[in-house]
């Protein structure tokens, strides 16, 4: 797999990473630990060097799993984790808000280092912007952690362009993470131009539209209890019916490329810019192999123009997240 650079500080990762959130829930039941470890090792064997986790996934259990799985190849991979949610330190329960107070960032950094079993966090994202803490204070804290050798690179997740500029002025931002796919193209308007201007890498999460763009979700699909898609407006039966036009388009293009719909969705992101690194997640080895095959699907300028124009003409229905969750983003 080819490598790509995130930011201007020397952070180099595989062109496709692996989002690890689903390995400890969120999309229904978590796999057995042995199966998750096997999946993470298989990803590395197939060229993935970039793995994305967070203290909030579990909480905490995802970092432990990722650290355990990647320990034998620690010097060959980049591990990104995140701080910023308000989590009860005794119970692990999410309190529902954000907490990026400088002392809290330091506590999370120390705890994440231990859970991951590493000496340095490769990429430390603010998971959500905290309206109670100036972003300059957040960036300054990460700057200090970098100087102390505990963090290598600074990232932001779901942050607005002005917030990114202010943070970057204090401590260079290597990467910004936000949802971006053919199912959610809002970042193209304001976010991508700022990242290009500042030389910041972009890491799209949910690059397959939470599985919708793979074509595996049908009119009759029911999600497991505990799967967050049960609460997402764009996955209601009515919205799903309207949004199938996008899947039909991607499926038709895939047929002309001897590829799967999911591979086209990922190849489209890879072709958008050389500083974009999608992180599709999965619990299944077969889907992992399929996703990584997207790196071998070439899309010409004509292909991209067709996909852009035809997908933009399809009216999509339903918000990408529940309203309460959307309010927590900085967008």
Backbone angles phi, psi at 91, to 5 degrees: -110, -20
Supply the pLDDT for residue 91: 81
- Catalytic residue at 27? no
pTM exceeds cut of 0.85: yes
Backbone angles phi, psi at 63, to 5 degrees: -60, -40
Supply the pLDDT for residue 214: 97
The side-by-side arrangement of strands in the sheet containing 201-205 is 18-19, 50-52, 78-83, 121-126, 151-157, 173-179, 201-205
Cis check: omega of the bond before 59, within 30 degrees of 0:
yes
- For 18, the token pair is 């692996």
As a whole number, the mean pLDDT across the chain is 96
pLDDT in tens, 67-105: 999 999 999 999 999 999 999 888 887 777 999 999 999
Supply the pLDDT for residue 96: 72
pLDDT in tens, 274-326: 999 999 999 999 999 999 999 999 999 999 999 999 999 999 999 998 888 88
Supply the pLDDT for residue 57: 96
Of 42, 45, 8, 2, give the one whose Cα is nearest residue 271. Answer: 2
Supply the pLDDT for residue 35: 98
**Confidence check: pLDDT of 221 > 90:** yes
Of 207, 261, 210, give the one whose Cα is nearest residue 240. Answer: 210
**Domains of the chain, earliest start first:** 3-326 (3.20.20.100)
pLDDT in tens, 39-55: 999 999 999 999 999 99
- For 155, the token pair is 């990232």
């Amino acid at each position: 797999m080819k490598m790509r650079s995130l930011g201007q500080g020397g952070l180099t990762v595989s062109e496709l990473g692996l989002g690890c959130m689903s390995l400890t829930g969120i999309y229904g039941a978590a796999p057995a630990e042995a199966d998750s470890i096997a999946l993470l090792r298989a990803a590395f064997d197939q060229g993935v060097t970039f793995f994305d986790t967070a203290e909030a996934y579990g909480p905490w259990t995802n970092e432990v799993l990722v650290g355990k799985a990647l320990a034998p190849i620690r010097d060959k991979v980049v591990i990104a984790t995140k701080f910023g949610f308000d989590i009860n330190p005794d119970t692990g329960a999410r309190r529902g808000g954000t907490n990026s107070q400088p002392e809290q960032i330091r506590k999370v950094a120390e705890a994440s280092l231990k859970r991951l079993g590493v000496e340095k966090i490769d990429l430390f994202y603010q998971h959500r912007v905290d309206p109670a803490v100036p972003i300059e204070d957040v960036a300054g804290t990460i700057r200090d952690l970098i100087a102390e050798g505990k963090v290598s690179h600074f990232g932001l997740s779901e942050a607005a362009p002005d917030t990114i500029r202010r943070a970057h002025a204090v401590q260079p931002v290597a990467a910004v993470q936000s949802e971006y796919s053919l199912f959610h193209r809002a970042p193209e308007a304001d976010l991508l131009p700022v990242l290009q201007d500042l030389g910041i890498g972009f890491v799209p999460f949910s690059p397959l539209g939470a599985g919708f763009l793979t074509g595996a979700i049908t009119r009759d699909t029911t999600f497991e209890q505990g799967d967050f898609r049960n609460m997402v407006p764009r996955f209601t039966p009515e919205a799903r019916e309207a949004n199938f036009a996008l899947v039909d388009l991607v499926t038709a293009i895939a047929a002309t490329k001897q590829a799967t719909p999911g591979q086209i969705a990922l190849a489209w992101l890879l072709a958008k810019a050389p500083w974009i690194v999608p992180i599709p997640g999965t619990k299944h080895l077969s889907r992992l192999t399929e996703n990584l095959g997207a790196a071998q699907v070439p899309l010409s300028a004509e292909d991209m123009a067709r996909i852009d124009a035809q997908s933009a003409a399809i009216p999509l229905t339903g918000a990408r997240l529940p309203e309460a969750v959307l309010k927590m983003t900085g967008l």
